[in-house]
Structure 1
Amino acid sequence: MTNKHYRDALESLLVKGFVPVGCKMTKEITLDSAPESSKYKALVFALNDQNIVYRKGKVTPHRPGAFLSVWQRPSSTAINSNKPIPLKSNELDYLFVQVHGHSNVTSKDGSITIPKNGIFIFPVSLLVDKGVVSSIKSKGKTGLRVFPPWSQDRGVVGTKVFSESGKKTQRWQLPYFLEIDEDGLIDSCELNKVFGHGRALPCSSQHTKS
């Protein structure tokens, strides 16, 4: 997928899932400046004047969950200017991580695989608490693994099981996970919980899944 295509894919998601429930694009979607970040579909934009860093989680062979980079290049004048550094807490308000996967369901007719799509919406306050971004509390990280609800299935399929540490990480991540349906829609009430800023987004039946 080219840079233009994954930018367009994100714009389509925002138009279908976010704009109809009261979110407004206040800064255009642009590509992350680090070329290496393209493998994680790295983009930056703003919704409702909130600065957002976007990544797409990458499923790695034999591991549950999905991995993404959360770093940036230092300025060319900095010492060790080629060494990646974590994102700084004052540079973003949210980290959006989109994930794709599958869930295995067993029925009387056998096992079937159901495609899954969703997005994590992590506020920067949570990223500070978990030491993901750099702040006065932590030096931050350059990578992060996320665990959507179907991670248990992915762990069974792969050669590595879903570890207890992975399950512990999943427990703090899941309250910030939103499912994206086949039409690109997101439950507006659930979206309000993680991105409402105390502002009541409409929970209309048109955009709220049953």
Structure 2
Amino acid sequence: MTNSDVTKYKSLSLFKKTFPYIPNEAIEIEIWNTEYEAMNLYMNGKYYKSRLAKKTPKKAGYFVAIWHKNPENKNVPFKYEESPDILVINVIDNNHKGQFKFPKDMLRNKGIVQSQNYKGKMALRVYPDWEQQLNKTALATQKWQSKYFEDLSDDD
């Protein structure tokens, strides 16, 4: 996939609500996780890694893969040192739209990226504010995630 193919990415429309003009040279399509619209954006001196989360039929919330391949071609979690300044998880579900913007240090503190204290994660589940009737664990996750969530549903 080339950078010109990025126009097919639904998640780019959410970025344009935050950054109305995104030059093509600021976008880098990732070769992994294309089904999650994986891309990197370099804007205003910051490095953003973006993914589009998917609704799952049997479990509340939205699932997103965040791994990459190491030199041995094995799927591995991102290391803190190579992590973006901001990990953006886009959610588009009919009329519901929003973005989670997780800062690098929070990703380390929650064990999402690999660090000295954590092995890191290959994927995660996000729970936008509109998700209801969650189990205790999902509700606790939604509580800390909500600080980083912006509901963009009403902006159309």
TM-score exceeds 0.5: yes
Query: By how many angstroms is 1:26 displaced?
Result: 10
Q: Does 1:70 align with 2:54?
A: no
Taking the aligned partners of 1:4 and 1:44, their CA distance within structure 2 comes to: 11
77, 80, 84: which one aligns with 1:89: 80
Q: Render the CA deviation track for 1:34-56: whole Å, top value 9, x for unaligned.
A: 2xx01111111122111111000
Taking the aligned partners of 1:50 and 1:117, their CA distance within structure 2 comes to: 23
> Equivalences for 1:3-14 in 2 at 5 Å?
3-7=5-9, 10=12, 12-14=13-15
Taking the aligned partners of 2:60 and 2:85, their CA distance within structure 1 comes to: 27
> Equivalences for 1:1-210 in 2 at 5 Å?
3-7=5-9, 10=12, 12-19=13-20, 28-34=26-32, 37-75=33-71, 81-91=72-82, 92-101=84-93, 115-152=95-132, 162-183=134-155
Query: Which consecutive aligned stretches of 4+ in structure 1 deviate over 6 angstroms post-superposition?
Result: none
Aligned pair count reads 152
1:26/1:47 contact within 8 Å kept: no
Query: By how many angstroms is 1:142 displaced?
Result: 0.2
Amino acid at match of 1:28: A
Q: RMSD over aligned Cα, in angstroms? A: 2.4
Give the corresponding residue for 1:105.
none
TM-score normalized with structure 1 length: 0.65
- Indicate how the Cα distance of structure 1 residues 88 and 61 shifts in structure 2: closer, same or farther if over 3 A, else same: same
Taking the aligned partners of 2:41 and 2:125, their CA distance within structure 1 comes to: 22
- Indicate how the Cα distance of structure 1 residues 27 and 171 shifts in structure 2: closer, same or farther if over 3 A, else same: farther
Report % sequence identity: 32
Query: By how many angstroms is 1:15 displaced?
Result: 3.4
Task: Flag the structure with larger Rg.
Answer: 1
Query: By how many angstroms is 1:19 displaced?
Result: 4.1
- SS of aligned partner of 1:141: coil
Where does structure 1 lack aligned partners over 5 or more consecutive residues?
76-80, 103-114, 156-161, 185-210
Amino acid at match of 1:4: V
